[in-house]
Every structure is written in structure tokens, then in C-alpha cells.
A and B are shown apart, each in its own frame.
Chain A
Amino acid sequence: MSLRTTTDRLVAEVQTRLTGRTRPTLLAGAVLVIVGSLLPWLTFGGYPGQLKSPFFFGDSGVRIFTLLLSVAFLLALFALPGRRKAGIAASLGMVAITAGTFLSVLNERGGLGAFAVGIFLTGIGSVVALLGFLALPPDVEPGRWRRKPQWVELLIVSGAQLALLLVVVYALDVGTDDGARSSRIIGFFLFIIAASAAVHALGVFAGISTLYRRHRGVTIAAGSLAAAAFPFLISEVQDGSAYWIRVAASIGVFAAAAIGLNIVVGQAGLLDLGYVAFFGIGAYVAALLGNANLTTSNIDLPFYIVIVLSAVVAAILGIIIGAPTLRLRGDYLAIVTLGFGEIFRLVAQNYDKLTRGPNGISGVPNLKVGSYDFGDSHTVLGVDLPYFANYYFIELLLIAFVIIVFTRLATSRIGRAWVAIREDETAAQAMGVNTISMKLLAFAIGAFLAGGAGAINAHVATQVSPDSYTFLESVTLLAAVVLGGMGTVAGAILGSAVLIALPEKLRTFQDKRLLFYGIALILMMRFRPTGIVPNSRRKLEFDDADPTSGDAVTQEQPPSTGKAVMAQ
């Protein structure tokens, strides 16, 4: 409370001092930052890697980010709506980057001798800019985007996907091959946070998502192309290293399962804490029927049959588990599903005759479709793709299928019944929805999709064992759904990507890795409780609950309608 009043008073003070002088202040700040970013920050120039701090130092790596941010806020100066928030976000980001660099180098070198003039110019410039932006009058509501010519809109829609792809590739690549790894990574993360906050405040994301809705076909096509282009790009950038493609292959399976869970949790509102069991059942079925080396069965069925069987077995088990338990609501259901997850794990661990107990079934062979061996690397369009790329592509197909199931059910009477159950189960029943069978259907479809994803996972991981399907995995899946945005497909995919890629990216920080991971999750939920890609419905829910949240509600209805209703 006192912190808030103190900052309020400071802001008011800044505003009174700077009235009428904001524009020169901002320009001065921008010039200082840009000049400072072009000059060296440290006297020992290009050898920051000799410093041992695991955190923050470096020169060449970080300056580019402050430079980009300053360009961003110069742009913000001329974009009218939302510029105060955007400018504050951008300049706060620059303050954080320079201050972090300054403090860690100071700590490392024990004095000011290491610093060159650039860092001071940038630091002062960003503080000046911050003050200038604070002194601006509050933002007016971000305006709606006017309609642009068709080709411009299509260009924006596909350009946004391309930009996302490039940012992802850069994010994965950054810091892998220079001495100042961690400084660049942290600098980049701060940059991404500040830049996306600034862009968000300018209403760009809202505008783009409107365009996405308007041009769905092009959006989907561009998105699929970007996803398919990813292995080629990362392969080129990383000189053929398979590392990130391997990570992407785990993300693909995980994302498919997360979308399935999103039907259960996001749409029908059933908190399932044992969802990974269905994933595991699919994997075990696929391993048992897929001619593994160390196994208890001798069956070798073609994969397209195996994947269907895995999904069906998981769905049947889902119905068997669901039929008695789905009469429960809320917390009770969560506890029962938690128990089911544990039962599955313990059975897998102890029923040696079928599952080979804790050893699991290993040596699951690579997939072979016709003469195409998924275990070989292939050269496509002159790019050497490691063999994990094969799995990545088949997962893209699986995800496409899952997305179709998800979205088409969502816009049918079944999807409406699910949302009604989530909103008010008693009312749904009193309006004629057979809640038990609809909940069972959600459960079974979720299990079906998880079983299919599990079947692919058995081949990607080449082995299945009970420790791959622990409670923690269920929680991570659930976290992916919540973090990404309940009830949206893009949310589940992005959530999975962040939850799996982030710990990999943070490996540079070794023992502090999980600390950063946890902090990142907490911050994301604090500042974006609706998830990365919020469902428009849920977004409204949360914005109502939290009047202090700064997000401008983008109403889909023309505002005049709402007013007419209220006036009536």
C-alpha cells in the first residue's frame, strides 16, 4: 500500500516538474540511449567471456537490445494511443538491462574502471526517457484499427507469423556460441518482456488477433508454413545440431496432449490431475504392439493401426475411470483423478509380466512408414535435417488433427454444453444437458487424444518406463494449459513450448536453473493471469475481477450496442 502511494506521489511530482517539457526530455533521452548503445560499454571490449559471473555482464551482446528498445520507444512517441504505457515499458526494460550489466560488472571487477562511456550514456538516457514518459498524460483507450486494404492485412497476418518464427529461432540460438552466454540470454529475455509489453500497450497484439480472426485461412496456412520451416531454419542457424529439433519433437507430443487436456480442463472445466496416465497408456500400448527390443510381447503391427489402438484403449480406460468419478465435482474430482494417475504409475511399476516393471519397455524401434525410415536423417532442399525432424513433422500432423477436433467440437452443441457445465453445472442440467454423459465424453476425447500422442512419444523416446508418467508430468501439462491460456489452442501450444524450452534454455545457469524457471512462471501468472493467449471469454472474466489490471478490454461488439442496452 505504502509503496503504491509513494510511487504515485513520485509520478505526480515528475508530472508537475516536467509539464510542457516532455517532448524535449524524451528526445534527449532517445538520443542519449542511441548514442550510448553505439559506443562500447566496457573498456575491455570484446572479451566479456573472461569474467566468471554466471549472471550479467558483457558488452557487444547486450547493446543491440537497448538500441532496438530505443527505436521502439521513438516509434511509440509517434503512435498516439497507449504510448505512455508503451514508453514506460520500453524505458524500464532499458533501465533494467543497463543497471543489471552495471551491477554485475561492478561486482565482478570491484570498481568503476571497467566501464566505458557508453553504458553511462545509455543508463542516463533511459532514466531520462522513463521520466519523460511518466510525465505524459494517461493514455486514451487504444483505438480500433481501421480496415486496411486486403493485401496489407494479409501481409501483416503472414508477416506476424514469420516474425514469431524468427524470434523463436533467435531466442533458441542466442547465447549458444559466444562467451557471454548468460548475459545475452538475460538481456534478450528482458528485451522480449519490455518489447512485448510496449507492443501490447500500443494495441498491436489486439489488432493482429482481430486480423487473425478475419483471415483465418491465411493465418492457419502461414502458421503451418512457419511451423514446418522451423527445423530448416534452426538447422541452418545451428550448423546442423539436432539439439533444438529434439526439444521441438518433445514439445510437439506434449502440445498435442495439452490440447487434449484443454478440452477436459479449459472447456468442460473438469480438473484432471491424472491426465498423464492416458498419455502413458497410449505409450505402453504402442510399445507393446510396436516390436520393441526388450519387451514382453511379440506383436509387430503397423504404426497407423497402433496409434489408433493406443488412442482407443486410452479412451476406453477414460470411460471406465470417468463413469463412477464424474459424478463428483470440483475438488473431489481432482483428488480422484490424482489417485488414478498414481494407480497407473504403480501398476506400470509392479505388473512385471506386462510392463517389465521399473525397467520399462525399451528399444522401441524408429517408425517406418513404407520405405521411409524415421531413424534416418534426410536432406531436404539442401538442408540436412536430423532424424528428430521426421518425428517433428509427424507431430505437426497429429497437432493439426487435434486442433481440428478441438475447434470443431468447441463450436458444436457439445462444446456449448461443456462450457455450460463449466459455468454452472446445476443450471446446465436444469436446461436439459445430460451432464454426466457430456462430462464423460469430454473425458474420453481427452484420453483419446492423449493416447495418440503417447503412441508417438513411445517412438520418439524409444522407451517407456513408469517414471516418465509421474504426477509432475500431469502438473506440467496442466501448467501448460493454464499458462498458455485456458480454452485456446494457441495457448496450449505456446504454453507447452515455453514450459519445455525454457528449462532447456536456462541450462546455462546450471544449479540456479529451476529458481529462474520458477520465478519466470510466477511473474507470468502475476502479470498475465489469463495466459499467453487468453480466450476472449476468460479474458473478460479476469479483467472484471481485477480492476487494477491495465489491460484494455477489446470488446468485440461495437461499443454503441452496449451503451444502448445500458441506457435502456
Chain B
Amino acid sequence: MTTTAVAVERVLDAKQVVKQFGGLTAVNKVDFHIDSGEIVGLIGPNGAGKTTFFNCLTGLEEPTSGEIRYRGEILSGKPDAVVKTGLARTFQNIRLFQNMTALENVLVGRHCRTSTGPISAIFRGPKYKREEKESTAAARGWLDFVGLSRIEGELAKNLPYGDQRRLEIARALATDPGLLLLDEPTAGMNPIETAQAMALVNSIRDAGLPVIVIEHDMKFIFNLCDRVAVLVQGQLLVEGSPAEVQSDHRVIEAYLGAPVE
């Protein structure tokens, strides 16, 4: 744990977010926030609306109503604009660019932080050279950070599962985010890979980046998160420290059902 006292800042503040698909309310008046230096877990049974809520935050879905502020500014618009503002995410089902190399995948993450136009690219102008050099260095740095620098030339689809997950995180980090959203980063992983992922998320937080993580692995959530929010049927059921949430009977009921009287 870092002991340097940094002023806590509200990074993301979502108020009364609602998302309806026709008659179905997938996300119902959810209040949610995260402060700098935090790892917040988002848990809940399948179909609780966790990923839809993520999609609302990152612009992939437009909320039906509600307000999302990132460092005080209202977030709106397309996913690419949201990324540029500072939110980066990974996907529950890995969505790498399968036929690009690991390095190229991460370089795509640099896209929104560079601006070389076609003319400069065609004539190999100074801007192209400078940005290309910087991007490659940054991308290599992130590959190294997640421990993948040795396979930078491999096609993404040829990587083993755990590496694909890590590559997706590196790609998200390459966008220079101010907040990272991980959608089930350990899904389908064996215990060793899960432990590695946990260490990775921890080091991301230590690097000063707040993280929101959707997870089903309770060991992961309770070891790692400063705060846990439980979403059930689109509604925020409980929010609090891992210990509080763990002992809350409503959470147990939501997962296991109420005891028969």
C-alpha cells in the first residue's frame, strides 16, 4: 500500500442510471461511484445487468435516463469519445483483434492518443515518425507491464487464454485511461492464472489507476476490492466493504435463495 497522502477525488459518479430494452429494465436507477486509488467490485447473479451497466458507462449503450460524470464532466457520446475522455475497458468474452499481432493490438489502443493524418503517413512526415516511435515505445512498455513482451509478434488468436486476457488489459491501458473497467478478467482461468491476474490488477491500482471490476470469483473480489457493489435484477442491492457484503443476508439470498420458513 502506498502511504503517500493523495487527496481523494471522485473519478466516476453515476446517478440514477436506467437502461431499458423495450419493456425490460436491465439497469434500474443505479447509483454508483468510484474514487481515485480504489478497486471497486461489481457482483451479482447472471443477468443482473452488470455488463449492461458497463456498456452504459463506456458508451456502447446509451442510458435511457440518468447521469454519468467522469471527474466532474458529464459523459456522453460514442465509445471512442468516452475512451478519449479516459475510460478504458475489457470485454467479458475476449474481443481482441484476432489477426493482428500482440504489439499491433496494443498499438490500436494508442490510436486515440495520436493524430497522424494520411498525408503525414504517406510522406513519412516528422509527425508520423515521432508518433510512431512514441506509440511503439508505449505499447512495448504496456506489453512488458502485463508480462507479454516476449510474444509481441504473435497473432492474438494464437496466444493461450490467460495471455489473451492480459493482452486485452494491455490494450486498454495503452489508451492512457483515468479509469479501467474490467469485465470478468478471470473468467475461465485456472487458479494459477487467477492469482496472476489478481497480482496484475493490484499493480494497476498501485500505479494509481482506479479499477472497476465485474467478477464471479469471490476470492478475487474479497481479496482485492476496497468496496463491493451488488447488483440484482438491475437494482443496486447492497454496497459496502467486502466484509459487510459478505455477511449481508440479502446477498446470500440473492445468490442462493431465501431459506424455506
Interface-central residue, B78, B88, B122, B158, by most chain A CB under 10 Å: B122
Q: Which residues of chain A are within 8 angstroms of B154 by Cβ–Cβ distance? A: 557, 561-562, 565
Q: Which residue of A lies closest to B148 (CB)?
A: A565
Known contacts A416-B100, A541-B99; A432 and B112 CB within 8 A of each other: yes
Q: Which residues of chain B are within 8 angstroms of A540 by Cβ–Cβ distance? A: 99, 155, 158
Chain A count of residues within 8 A CB distance of the other chain: 39
B160 to chain A, nearest CB (A): 6
Q: Which residues of chain A are within 8 angstroms of B89 by Cβ–Cβ distance? A: 430
Could you tell me the distance between the alpha carbons of A505 and B187 in the complex, rounded to whole angstroms?
58
Does B230 belong to the interface (CB within 8 Å)? no
Could you tell me the distance between the alpha carbons of A404 and B118 in the complex, rounded to whole angstroms?
12
B80, A435: Cβ atoms closer than 8 Å: yes
Q: Which residues of chain B are within 8 angstroms of A537 by Cβ–Cβ distance? A: 99-100, 155
Does A14 belong to the interface (CB within 8 Å)? no
B95, A426: Cβ atoms closer than 8 Å: yes
Contact flags (1/0) for A422-456 with B, using CB distance below 8 Å? 01101111111111000001000100000000000
Does A409 belong to the interface (CB within 8 Å)? yes
SS class, residues of chain B in contact with chain A: helix
B100 to chain A, nearest CB (A): 6
Q: Which residues of chain A are within 8 angstroms of B60 by Cβ–Cβ distance? A: 426, 429-430
Does B110 belong to the interface (CB within 8 Å)? yes
Could you tell me the distance between the alpha carbons of A429 and B87 in the complex, rounded to whole angstroms?
12
Contact flags (1/0) for B111-155 with A, using CB distance below 8 Å? 111101110011010001001100100000000000000110111
Could you tell me the distance between the alpha carbons of A414 and B118 in the complex, rounded to whole angstroms?
7
Known contacts A408-B121, A556-B153, A565-B160; A432 and B111 CB within 8 A of each other: yes
Does A548 belong to the interface (CB within 8 Å)? no
Q: Which residues of chain B are within 8 angstroms of A544 by Cβ–Cβ distance? A: 157
Q: Which of the segments B23-31, B101-109, B197-205, B221-229 contacts the partner chain?
A: B101-109
Contact flags (1/0) for A516-557 with B, using CB distance below 8 Å? 000000000000000000000110110010000000000011
Q: Which residues of chain A are within 8 angstroms of B150 by Cβ–Cβ distance? A: 561, 564-565
Could you tell me the distance between the alpha carbons of A540 and B98 in the complex, rounded to whole angstroms?
11
Q: Which residues of chain A are within 8 angstroms of B214 by Cβ–Cβ distance? A: none
20 A-B contacts, Cβ less than 8 Å apart? A404-B122, A412-B116, A412-B121, A413-B107, A413-B121, A414-B116, A415-B121, A419-B97, A424-B96, A424-B97, A427-B95, A430-B60, A431-B83, A432-B79, A432-B112, A433-B111, A435-B80, A540-B99, A561-B150, A561-B154
Q: Which residues of B contact A (CB under 8 A)?
A: 58, 60, 78-80, 83-84, 88-89, 91, 95-100, 104, 107-114, 116-118, 121-122, 124, 128, 131-132, 135, 150-151, 153-155, 157-160, 163, 171-172, 175
Q: A431-B88, A565-B160 are in contact. List 5 more A-B contacts (CB 8 A).
A: A413-B111, A414-B116, A417-B108, A561-B153, A568-B160
